[in-house]
Structure 1
Amino acid sequence: MLLALVMALIGATVAAARPRHDLRFDISFPTSTRAAAADGRAFVIVSTDASSDPRDQIDIVNGVPYWGRNVDGLRPGHAVTLDEGPETYGYPRESLDQLPPGRYYVQAFFTVYDTFHRGDGSTVKLHMPCGDGQDLFSSPQNMYSTPQWITITGDEDRPVRLTLDHVITPADPVPAGGTCQQGNPTDSQHVKHVKILSPRLSAFWGRPMYIGANVLLPQGYDDPANAGVRYPVEYHFAHFTENAPHGFKEDGSNDFSKFWLAPSSPKFISIEVREENPFYDSSYIVDSPNTGPYGSATTQELIPELDRQFRTVAAPWGRVTSGGSTGGWEALASLVFNPDVFGGTFAGYPDPVDFHRHQIVDVYDDANAYNTYRQWDTPTQRPDDRNTAGDTIYNMAQENLWELALGDHDRSGGAWAIWEAVYGPQGKDGYPALVWNKRTGAIDHAVAAQWKPKDIDAKLATEWPTLGPKLQGEIHMYVGDMDTYFLNDAVELLQKNLTSQTSPPADATFTFGREKPHGWSPYTDAQWFAVYADYVLSKAPAGTDVSGWRGASAASAAPVAPNAAAKIGTADELSKLLPPSMDGGVVQNTDGKLGASR
C-alpha cells in the first residue's frame, strides 16, 4: 500500500514536471505546387463544418477562427511554423492557445507577396491580384491545402503538418503575351472590354501595370444610321467586376436589360473601370503616395483611350459620374478633383467624405478609434456596423483586428486598409503610415493631419472660391439616414458646408432615405438614366443636336432648358424629371466583397 502511494506520488511529480506541449502547425508546399521560394503570409483556418472549405468560411460575423504569420523566402519542402508565439496572430482568437480541444476541419493557406521596387525608391511586398479583385482566398498564385479533420487534445506531442497541395490559377484564359491583371473577360454585342498598359502606374510600381474598363454600348450603336452619333457617358464606379455595368444581359433577361435595349430609352455609353491593385479591388480614382497615380492614369490615359475607341461625347458636359459606397466616394472625388474632366455627379451612400466622421470616428480630434473614454466610466466600444433598428452588428475593433489577422501593413484587402493607403501618407518603411494603432485604436494625429488633402468636404470648404464656379449645380448626393456604416453622418456635414456657400451658391442637392440602410437609392438604375439624360441636356452647348441619344422616355419627362442648371435632389424634385411610368421606384444596391462591404 505504501509502495503504491509512493509510486503514485512519483508519477504525479514527473507529470507535473513534464512541460506542456503547445499546439503547432507546420505548413509547407512541394515543388509540384510551386517551384520557387515564396514570400507571403501563411494561415491555418479551423472549422467544425465540412460543408465547404474553411477558407470560404472566414467572416467578421460568425466566421471561423484563423491565424496568420508572415514568412520570407519559404522554399519548397521547408515548413513555416504557426504556434503560440507573438509572430502568429489570429481572429477572433488572437493566440492558438485559445483554441479549445476538439475535432476540427482544418486548412492551410498561403498568400503570396510580390516584391515591388517602386519608382519613389521604396520597396514593399504585397499581393498582386490577377483578375480576382484582390479576393485573397480566391486569388491566383495563392496556395491552399486539402482540408482534413484533426483532433486537438490540448497537449500535442508533435506539430500538425499541413501541405499546400493546390495553387489558384486565373479564372480567365490569359492570351499569349498577355496578362491576367484586370482579368480577360469576353466581349459581346453591347459589352466591350478595354485594357491598357499605364505608363504612370508602371513607373510608380516598377513593373508593367494595367488598368481597364467594361463598356456598355447603347442599343443601335452599330446601326449605320447612327454612325455620326456621339453619346454621353455615365462613368459608373464600383468594386472590381468583369460583369457588364448595371448587370446588363444580352438576352434581356432582367428589367435593366429590357430598358437598355428598348428603342425609346435614353442612349448612353456606360463605363466601369477595372483597377484592382496591390492594396484593394479598386483604386479610388485618385493619386496616392501608397497606391500610385490612379487618378491621373484614369483621366489622362484611360479616358482618352476610351474616347478614341468609342463615339463618346469627349467633353465634361457629356460625362456624369455615379456609384454607391466605394463607388459613391469615387464618383464624388472624380468630379471634385477633376472638374475639367467630368460635368456632374450622382453619388450614393459614399465612403467617408468628411474625416470628422470617418464612419463614426473623428480622426482629427478623437483620441481612440475603437473606444470612447470618460473619466469615471468604463470605455464604450464604438460601433462599426448597425441595422436600421440601431442594433450593433460588430464594432470598430472587431473589423480592424479581423483585417490585421489577414495581413499587417494594410495588406488585408479590406476597407480600413485601403482607406489608410489612399487617404494617408507613406510611412518610413514604405507601407502606409498607420493613422491608429491596429491593436489598441490609439489615433496618431500627426498622420491624421496628413489625410486633409483627401478630405473631400475640407477640400471643398477651403477651395470653394476656385472650385465653386466649376461645380455649381453639379453635386447630387443620396444616402439612407440609417446607413449601415454611419456614412450619412459625413454626408450631412458635406450638406451643411455646401449649403453655406454663397459665392457662388453650390446648388447641390441631397436626398435622404428615411430609416434606409447602406445601399439605398431613390430610383432604379434604369430610372437614373432618364435623370442623367435631362441633366446632360441642361449642360449641352446651345444648338447641340441631342436627338440621337436623348430617347423618348427622357424626352417625355419634364423639359429642362439648355444651359440651365438642373437642381435635382429630393425625391419630389427627382420625380419631376421622370415620366409617370418610371416615378417612385426604390432600389437597394449592395456590393459583394469578402466580409463587410463599403
Structure 2
Amino acid sequence: MKKALLALVCLTAVACQSSETSAPTAPSFAVSFGKSVSETALDGRLLLILSKDDGREPRLQVRPGVDAVQIFGMNVDDIDPGEAMVLDESVFGYPHNSLSEVPAGEYFVQAVLHKYDIFNLGNGKTVKLPMDQGEGQQWAESPGNLLSEPRLIKVGSSSDPIAIELDQVIEAIEPPADTEFIKHVQIRSEMLSEFWGRDMYLGAHVLLPAGFNEHPDARYPLAVFHGHFPADFAGFQTEPPDENLECESSNNDDVVCYNRIRQEEAYDFYQKWVGPDLPRMLIIQIQHANPYYDDSYAVNSENLGPYGDAITYELIPYIEDQFRGIGEGWARFLYGGSTGGWEAFGVQVLYPDEFNGTFASCPDSLDFRHYSATNIYTDQNAYRMQGDFNTVERPAYRDYLGNISVTMEDENHMELVIGDKSRSGGQWDVWEAVYSPMGDDGYPLRIWDKVTGEIDHEVAEHWKDNYDMRHILQRDWETLGPKLEGKLHVFVGDMDNYHLNNAVYLLEDFLESTTEPYYGGFIDYGDRQEHCWNGDQENPNYISRLRYNSMYIPRILDRLLTTAPEGADLTSWRY
C-alpha cells in the first residue's frame, strides 16, 4: 500500500510537471522604437505582457490574482531611437518571476514604454517619474506612452531574441467641455510648483445648483466628493438613458445591463438635483493626479508635496470665489468611498476647523494595526504568516463568502514589475508614497521589502505618527475632540473585499471610549456587504454605490442647519 501511494505521488508529480513545461531555452525580447514615434532619447519603464486571450490588448488585461496575465518590467535610461532594449531571464516578472519559468507555447505579446520625466525637486533632489497626462496616472492608457501592435508569438521554439517594435503612441485626451451645470477649473498651485520644481496644477469639476444664474445674490455651502481621478463629474446626466444602448454587464457583480443602470441613476440624480428636495449647494470632484498616483490622498506628504494645504488653502477658496461659495468651515463638508473615504476622513481630522463633517464610506485603513491583512507595527512579514514549521499567505482580496483570489504578494509583486521605487501607480505604492518619509535618493522609503515582504518598523513609526488616523485621534483627542464633535461618520461592509472593516472596528473601539467630549458621530456596518458599501441598508451595493450624492447631501443639510453659527447665511441658497 505504501509503495502504491508513493508511486501515485511520483506519477502525479510527473504529470503535473509535464502538463506545464517551461521553455527549454529562456526566451528573450529585443524592443526598440524608431524616430517616427520619438526623435529624442527616452527614459522610462519598459513593460512586456504575454496573454492567452486575444479579446483585448494585453496591456489592458494586467491584473493580479488567479486570472493574471504574464508581465515583465525593467527601467530604461536615455534610450535612443533604434537602440535595442533587451528583456531576458534576469528581468523580474509576475506571476512567473523570470522568462525562464514561462511555459512553452503560443502567446499574444505587447510591449509598452511608460515614459518618465526628470523632476528637479525644490529640496535639491532629482527623480525620474511618470507625469500624469490627463488620464489619471494609468500607465496602460497614458498619452505619449509608446506601444507595439499585439501579435501572436511562439515561446520555446527558438533561442533567437524576439524583435518587438514600439511603433504607436497613445493619443492625447480631450478635456471635457463645460455644460450648464458642470464647470471645469484648473489653477497653478504655488505650493506644489515650489515642491516639484516645475509648474503643477490642481483641477476640479464643479456641479452648480439649479437656479445658479437666476439667484446672483445666493452664497452656497460646498461639499467635496473625494475619490479616484475623475475624468469628468460622474453620475450626473441631463438626458434620459440612451434607448439604443448596448448592454454591458458589471465586472464585479455580474449585473445585466449595468451600463444602462448607471445612466438611469445619473439621470435620476439630475432630476433630484433640480427638484425641490435637495438643497442648493456646490459639489466638487477634485483632479489631483500626480507623478505617483491618480490622486494625492489630499494630505501633505514628504514625497508628493503639500497637496493637503494646496487643496484646502488654494483650490477650494478659488472655487468658492468663482462660484459664490460661503467660504467658511461651517459650510464645507466631505464625503467619499474607498480612497475617497480615507481622504474624507483624514482631511477632516487633519483640517478640523476647515470642514464641518465627513461621511466616509469603506475608507482605506484608518488604523495600521489592520493595514489590510497586516499589522505593520508587530508583524514581521507583510506577505505571509510564519510559524515554526509552516507559512500561510496573507490574503489581499476576498468575496463576501471569504473566498480568496488575490494575495498580498500577488499585488505587490505585480506593482514591482510595473515600476520600482514606488512608481507603479498602484495602490500599495501610493500608500507608501504618501505615508513614508523620503529616502536619500528622493524616492519613498519602503514600508517593506517589495520582494520578500519583510516590514521596516522604523518606517512604520513614521506612518503611525503622521497618517494612522486612530492613533492621531487618540493621541490628540484633548485638542481634536472639541473640534470634531459630531463630525465623524463611517460606513463599511463587514465583508469588505480588502478587509477595510477590520481597521474600522479598532477606530470604533476608541471613538466609543471618548469623553469630554464624546465623539458624537456614528459608525454603521453592512451585513455581508463588500467593498464599497456606503450605508444603504435597503438596496444592493451595486445600486447604492451610484448614489453617494443623493444619500449624503440630505445628511449634510441636517448637520449644517443644526450647527451653523449665529448670524450664518441659511436663506440665500434655500430657494
Please give the TM-score of this superposition, normalised by the length of structure 2.
Answer: 0.87
Residue in structure 1 matching 2:565, options 537, 541, 547: 541
Equivalent residue runs for 1:10-409 within 5 Å: 22-61=26-65, 62-85=67-90, 88-154=91-157, 156-172=158-174, 184-223=175-214, 226-245=215-234, 247-251=235-239, 253=241, 254-375=267-388, 377-409=389-421
- Map of 1:508 onto structure 2: 521
Q: Which amino acid aligns with 2:400?
A: T
The CA distance in 2 between the partners of 1:393 and 1:84, in whole Å, is 27
The CA distance in 2 between the partners of 1:216 and 1:436, in whole Å, is 41
Shift of 1:527: 3.0
Shift of 1:69: 0.9
Shift of 1:543: 4.4
Unaligned runs of 5+ in 1: 1-19, 173-183, 552-598
Residues 299 and 545 of structure 1: CA distance in aligned 2, closer, same or farther (over 3 Å): closer
The CA distance in 2 between the partners of 1:252 and 1:260, in whole Å, is 15
C-alpha deviations, 1:257-296, integer Å up to 9, x for none?
1111213422121011100000000100111111111011
- Map of 2:542 onto structure 1: none
Q: Which amino acid aligns with 2:429?
A: A
Shift of 1:439: 0.9
1:413 equivalenced with 2:417 (yes/no): no
Aligned residues of 1:252 and 1:258 also touching (Cα < 8 A): no
Shift of 1:51: 2.2
- Map of 2:12 onto structure 1: none
Which SS does the other structure have where 1:520 is aligned? coil
Shift of 1:48: 2.1
The CA distance in 2 between the partners of 1:359 and 1:214, in whole Å, is 31
Q: Which amino acid aligns with 2:110?
A: Q
The CA distance in 2 between the partners of 1:263 and 1:512, in whole Å, is 30
Aligned residues of 1:252 and 1:261 also touching (Cα < 8 A): no
The CA distance in 2 between the partners of 1:393 and 1:64, in whole Å, is 14
Structure number with greater Rg is 1
- Map of 1:476 onto structure 2: 489
The CA distance in 1 between the partners of 2:357 and 2:449, in whole Å, is 38
Aligned residues of 1:267 and 1:548 also touching (Cα < 8 A): no
Shift of 1:545: 4.5
1:428 equivalenced with 2:440 (yes/no): yes
Shift of 1:49: 2.1
Equivalent residue runs for 1:447-458 within 5 Å: 447-452=459-464, 453-458=466-471
Task: Give the percent of matched residue pairs that are identical in Structure 1 and Structure 2.
Answer: 43
Q: Which amino acid aligns with 1:417?
A: D
Residues 385 and 477 of structure 1: CA distance in aligned 2, closer, same or farther (over 3 Å): same
Aligned residues of 1:189 and 1:250 also touching (Cα < 8 A): no
The CA distance in 1 between the partners of 2:173 and 2:98, in whole Å, is 35
Aligned residues of 2:336 and 2:361 also touching (Cα < 8 A): yes
Shift of 1:369: 0.5
The CA distance in 2 between the partners of 1:168 and 1:425, in whole Å, is 34
Aligned residues of 1:42 and 1:108 also touching (Cα < 8 A): yes
Aligned residues of 2:108 and 2:150 also touching (Cα < 8 A): yes
The CA distance in 2 between the partners of 1:244 and 1:250, in whole Å, is 12
Shift of 1:550: 4.7
Equivalent residue runs for 1:578-597 within 5 Å: none
Shift of 1:548: 4.4
Q: Which amino acid aligns with 1:290?
A: N
Q: Which amino acid aligns with 2:84?
A: A
Residue in structure 1 matching 2:508, options 495, 506, 509: 495
Which SS does the other structure have where 1:529 is aligned? helix
Which SS does the other structure have where 2:210 is aligned? coil
Q: Which amino acid aligns with 2:491?
A: Y
Which SS does the other structure have where 1:229 is aligned? coil
Q: Which amino acid aligns with 1:41?
A: R
Which SS does the other structure have where 2:327 is aligned? coil
C-alpha deviations, 1:95-153, integer Å up to 9, x for none?
01111221221111111111111011211111011110001100012100011122223
Aligned residues of 1:219 and 1:263 also touching (Cα < 8 A): no
Equivalent residue runs for 1:565-584 within 5 Å: none
Shift of 1:185: 2.0
Q: Which amino acid aligns with 2:85?
A: V
Q: How many residues align?
A: 514
Aligned residues of 2:361 and 2:535 also touching (Cα < 8 A): no
- Map of 2:14 onto structure 1: none
Which SS does the other structure have where 2:562 is aligned? helix
Aligned residues of 2:62 and 2:69 also touching (Cα < 8 A): yes
Which SS does the other structure have where 2:116 is aligned? strand
C-alpha deviations, 1:68-115, integer Å up to 9, x for none?
111111100111100012xx1111111011112212211111111111
C-alpha deviations, 1:206-261, integer Å up to 9, x for none?
111101111001111111xx22111111111010012215x111326522111112
Which SS does the other structure have where 2:555 is aligned? helix
Aligned residues of 1:46 and 1:64 also touching (Cα < 8 A): yes
The CA distance in 2 between the partners of 1:507 and 1:347, in whole Å, is 15
Residue in structure 1 matching 2:449, options 407, 420, 437: 437
496-505 vs 285-294, greater mean Cα deviation: 496-505
**Bigger relative contact order, structure 1 or 2, given CA contacts below 8 A and separation 6+?**
2
- Map of 1:529 onto structure 2: 553
Aligned residues of 2:50 and 2:69 also touching (Cα < 8 A): yes
Which SS does the other structure have where 2:402 is aligned? coil
Please give the TM-score of this superposition, normalised by the length of structure 1.
Answer: 0.84
Shift of 1:306: 0.8
The CA distance in 2 between the partners of 1:21 and 1:518, in whole Å, is 44
Q: Which amino acid aligns with 1:198?
A: S
The CA distance in 2 between the partners of 1:541 and 1:345, in whole Å, is 18
Q: Which amino acid aligns with 1:83?
A: D
The CA distance in 2 between the partners of 1:49 and 1:390, in whole Å, is 28
Which SS does the other structure have where 2:508 is aligned? helix
- Map of 2:264 onto structure 1: none
The CA distance in 1 between the partners of 2:291 and 2:491, in whole Å, is 30
The CA distance in 2 between the partners of 1:231 and 1:545, in whole Å, is 9
Which SS does the other structure have where 2:225 is aligned? strand
- Map of 1:180 onto structure 2: none
